[in-house]
């Protein structure tokens, strides 16, 4: 990554809003983003260069009506973001069966333990966020001891970490897609780093571009506002006895989201939950067809 010239402070009212900010500023040229729970929301530090300042300020201004406050711009001296972002990162141990780690962090694997190597980049998904971790937890449980799913679909794949974890844990094949072409390129590179380029298929485009359904396991890590408009299409990708794992949802989203999928014939089977540093409760329902 390029070195950052500036660091711009911002505040989002909650984690849902912060996720939107991060997505928007990455899209217009941010070089890095740090976030931390604050007393009045989620505090953000956005790293940028001179060329990206106007576009990033414009993106933040458009989100002001949603509770985003832009703070001071700090001039940085000799900060190499390509090295600074590595500080504090470590292996994420999901279980004795699975580890997710950056390439620059060493980890001694336990016997039989699998690893997914993914470095932080512009595509969402290194395993650290509660929403991603919840699906990784599900994968560790769902792919333990039972006949592994033959076909896994990763909706909004980002870095590809979820599809790759499913493959490492025994899934036969996986397909991931994203609206962001940059994310798909990055997922392709991550799959090659992990030696799974032949098992993970990828495309950039909407869910409507899928030619066929019949997936045994479908993973969806999206915000409620992104998930609900395509709920019908998501359900259409499942096989008759397939399972759907949802994440990216706050506790307050549960009723509306479950109702939308109930209209398409799916019932909740179980639910995972994790609380983030700000105190927000993230949930991850597991759904299947009724009856």
Q: How far is CA 285 from the centre of its chain?
A: 16
Sheet of 69-75: strands edge to edge?
32-38, 41-48, 6-12, 69-75
The whole-number average pLDDT for the span 108-115 is 91
| Mean pLDDT, the chain, whole residue set | 87
The ranges of the chain annotated as CATH 3.40.50.150 are 92-289
Q: E-strand spans in the chain? A: 6-12, 32-38, 41-48, 69-75, 92-95, 98-101, 114-117, 151-155, 173-178, 200-204, 215-221, 238-247, 249-250, 266-275, 281-289
* pLDDT interval class at 27 (50, 70, 90): confident
Chain Cα centroid distance, residue 166: 14
Query: Higher model confidence: residue 66 or residue 255?
Result: 255
Instruction: Give the model's pLDDT for residue 152.
Output: 96
| Separation of alpha carbons 110 and 69, rounded Å | 45
pLDDT confidence bin for 122, thresholds 50/70/90 = very low
Percentage of the chain exceeding pLDDT 70: 89
Condensed to tens digits (0 to 9), the pLDDT of residues 47-56 reads: 888 888 889 9
Q: What would the pLDDT profile of 140-174 be if each residue is shown by its tens digit?
A: 999 887 677 889 999 999 889 999 999 999 999 99
The alpha carbon of residue 25 and the mean position of all alpha carbons in its chain are separated, in whole angstroms, by 16
Instruction: List Cβ neighbours of 211 (8 Å cut-off, separation of 6 or more).
Output: none
Give mean pLDDT, residues 128-147: 86
- Which ranges of the chain does DSSP label H, i.e. alpha helix? 15-27, 53-62, 81-84, 130-142, 161-168, 181-193, 224-227, 231-236, 254-262
Which pair of tokens denotes residue 170? Answer: 């025994």
Give the pLDDT confidence score for residue 150 in this predicted structure: 87
Name the pTM for this structure. 0.75
pLDDT of residue 277: 66
Longest dimension (CA), the chain: 62
Q: What is the per-residue pLDDT for 50?
A: 83
| Residue-level pLDDT at 211 | 77
Q: In this predicted model, which residue has the larger pLDDT, 206 or 85?
A: 206
Return residue ranges of the chain for CATH 3.30.70.260.
Answer: 6-84
pLDDT of res. 238 = 96
Question: Which residues are registered as beta bridge partners of 274?
Answer: 282
CA 129 to CA 94: how far, in whole Å?
13
Token pair recorded at residue 77: 């001296």
Report helix angle 161-168 to 130-142, nearest 10. Answer: 20
Q: Is the pLDDT of residue 268 over 80?
A: yes
Q: Indicate whether 29 pLDDT > 60.
A: yes
| Superfamily of domain 6-84 in the CATH hierarchy | ACT domain (3.30.70.260)
More confident call, 267 vs 1: 267
The mean per-residue pLDDT over the stretch 84-93 comes to 69
Q: Which residue has the tokens 């298929």?
A: 201
Q: What is the pLDDT of residues 176-211, one digit of tens each?
A: 999 888 889 989 999 999 999 999 999 999 999 997
Confidence of residue 123 (pLDDT cuts 50, 70, 90): very low
Residue 38 has pLDDT above 80, yes or no: no
> What is the CATH topology of the domain spanning 92-289?
Rossmann fold (3.40.50)
Q: How high is the pLDDT of residue 202?
A: 96
Lowest mean pLDDT of 72-81, 125-134, 199-208, 250-259, name the range.
72-81
State mean pLDDT over 28-57: 85
Residue 41 has pLDDT above 70, yes or no: yes
């Amino acid at each position: 990554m390029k070195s950052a010239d500036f660091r711009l402070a911002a505040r989002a009212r909650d984690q849902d809003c912060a996720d939107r900010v991060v997505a928007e500023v990455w899209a217009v040229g941010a070089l890095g983003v740090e976030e931390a729970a604050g007393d009045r929301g989620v505090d953000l530090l956005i790293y940028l260069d001179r060329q990206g300042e106007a576009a990033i300020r414009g993106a933040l201004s458009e989100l002001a009506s949603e509770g985003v406050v832009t703070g001071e711009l700090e001039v940085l001296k000799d900060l190499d973001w390509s090295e600074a972002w590595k500080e504090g990162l470590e292996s994420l141990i999901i279980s004795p069966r699975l580890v997710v780690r950056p390439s620059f962090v060493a980890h001694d694997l336990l016997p039989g333990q699998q690893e997914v190597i993914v470095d932080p980049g512009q595509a969402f998904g290194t395993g650290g966020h509660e929403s991603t971790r919840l699906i990784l937890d599900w994968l560790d449980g769902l792919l333990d001891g039972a006949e592994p799913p033959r076909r896994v679909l990763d909706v909004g794949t980002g870095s590809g970490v979820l599809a790759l974890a499913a493959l490492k844990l025994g899934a036969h094949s996986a397909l991931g897609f994203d609206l962001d072409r940059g994310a798909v390129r990055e997922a392709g590179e991550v799959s090659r780093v992990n030696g799974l380029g032949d098992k993970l298929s990828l495309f950039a485009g909407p869910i409507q571009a899928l030619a066929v359904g019949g997936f045994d396991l479908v993973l969806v890590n999206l915000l409620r506002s992104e998930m609900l408009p395509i709920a019908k299409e998501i359900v259409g990708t499942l096989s008759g006895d397939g399972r759907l794992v949802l994440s990216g949802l706050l506790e307050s989203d549960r009723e509306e989201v479950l109702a939308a999928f109930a209209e398409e014939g799916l019932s909740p089977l179980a639910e995972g939950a994790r609380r983030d540093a700000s105190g927000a409760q993230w949930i991850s329902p597991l759904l299947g067809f009724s009856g």
